[in-house]
Amino acid sequence: MKKIVISTGGGDAPGLNAVIYAVVRSCYKRGWEVYGSRSGYKGLLDLDELVRLEIADVDGIYSMGGTIIGSTNKGEPFNMPIKNLAGEIQVVDVSDKILRNFKRMGFDCHIAIGGDGSLEIARKFAEKGMPVIGVPKTIDNDLEATDRTFGFDTAVATATEALDKLHSTAKSHDRVMVVEVMGRDSGWIALYSGISGGADVILIPEIPFDMEKVCEKIMDNALREKDYAIVVVAEGATALGGEVISKGSGELGRSEVLLGGIGEWVASEIRERTEKDTRSLVLGHLQRGGSPTTFDRLLAMRFGAAAVRLVEKGEFGHMVALASPHMSSVPLEDAVKSRKKVDMQSDKVLTARDIGICLGD
């Protein structure tokens, strides 16, 4: 009999509930107990925020977006900023308390579902002696150690559907529509949705772009009697010699800057340089919402069940990973070593170029 605690950390991604579903069901099949730590580590810090998860609690949740136990991308337990009574911010390390509570509850393993930030925290807990298994989540698909993260396929489907809808309005008004998508420092969402959604231009962080080339492509469209264009810009894309556009760190305890604004910048440059009627929109958190696609559900369930098999084998300090077509596992330190970038030689990049999409270079 084992007692497992699960947490979901970082930005949510479609498929989180499907992982929880698979973990809970795989554990109960073995006669084990499962608890959920609300909002990342909050439940392990304050035991009132721990919830027992029974089979009935997860009934049907695999098709739901979000996470039934909540998530957060603020408040790293090893460096948690807390406001004292005088209103000053103090950074405290609450990891010892979390580890004490973990032992006090008699947990055998923590299954941490998260992206690079949450998996780095999981790695530090593993180093401190907590038996941890990681599960890779992020719509950005930027974890090197797994072929795919769950959430990405759904985000791409949402962005592609938006592009499909934009074609008719762009065409009716002879307009350029610039669409900013998520993905942080990687261009996966932009590239996959841009190709699938018939974009004319795709700008990704891996290729600093030249506005001249972008405008040439738009004017070339016009010469060929296509008076509208669709431009997809990844939030982390930069102009040649330019910098990433961000809104600062935003909230207290958030470790990464909030990206955004490059879409509007590109739109205003196009407007000025080509005199074309241009509009921009930011797809934002729409890409994180909704029901996971079949691909993401299945991947999430495979990850969840594989995580429980790792617990059974005692392979702690590892993250489950997809090494297509198989499930595998990698040490947590390898999982967080580097971020996965779009490979310039990949056939997706070659496809984009072959079918005449401008990548800004």
User: Catalytic residues, which ones?
Assistant: 140
- Verify binding: residue 140, ligand F6P, rule CB under 6 A: yes
Least separation in angstroms between residue 74's CB and ligand F6P is 8
* Cβ 182 vs Cβ 282: under 8 Å: no
Q: Does 184 bind ligand F6P (CB under 6 A)?
A: yes
Q: Does 139 bind ligand F6P (CB under 6 A)?
A: yes
Distance CA 164, CA 262 (A): 21
Q: Does 137 bind ligand F6P (CB under 6 A)?
A: no
How many angstroms separate the CA atoms of 225 and 167, rounded? 15
Please, which of residues 3-32 interact with ligand F6P by CB under 6 A? Answer: 11
What is the pattern of x (binds ligand F6P, CB under 6 A) and - over residues 244-263?
Answer: --------------xx----
Hey, which residues between 68 and 97 contact ligand F6P (CB under 6 A)?
73
Instruction: Tokens for 13, please give them.
Output: 């991604």
219: Cβ contacts below 8 Å, ≥ 6 apart = 274
Residue 202 beta carbon to ligand F6P: minimum distance, rounded to whole angstroms? 16
As given in the structure block, the two tokens for residue 220 are 């070339």
> Would you say 182 and 189 are in contact if contact means Cβ atoms under 8 Å apart?
yes
In the complex with ligand F6P, which residue's Cβ is closer, 8 or 73? 73
Q: Return contacts of 272-275, CB within 8 angstroms, 24+ apart.
A: 273/211, 273/215, 274/176, 274/215, 274/218, 274/219
| For ligand F6P, the closer CB: 6 or 190 | 190
Single residue of 137, 288, 302, 340 touching ligand F6P by CB under 6 A: 288
Options 126, 182, 239, 322; binder of ligand F6P; rule CB under 6 A: 182
Told to check if 138 binds ligand F6P by CB under 6 A, we report yes
Residue 222: count of CB within 10 angstroms of its CB? 14
CB 3 within 8 A of CB 108: yes
Structural element, H or E, at residue 278: strand 278-282
Judged by CB under 6 A, the chain residues 194 through 253 that form the site for ligand F6P are: 235
Residues that bind ligand F6P (CB under 6 A): 11, 73, 115, 138-140, 182-184, 235, 258-259, 288
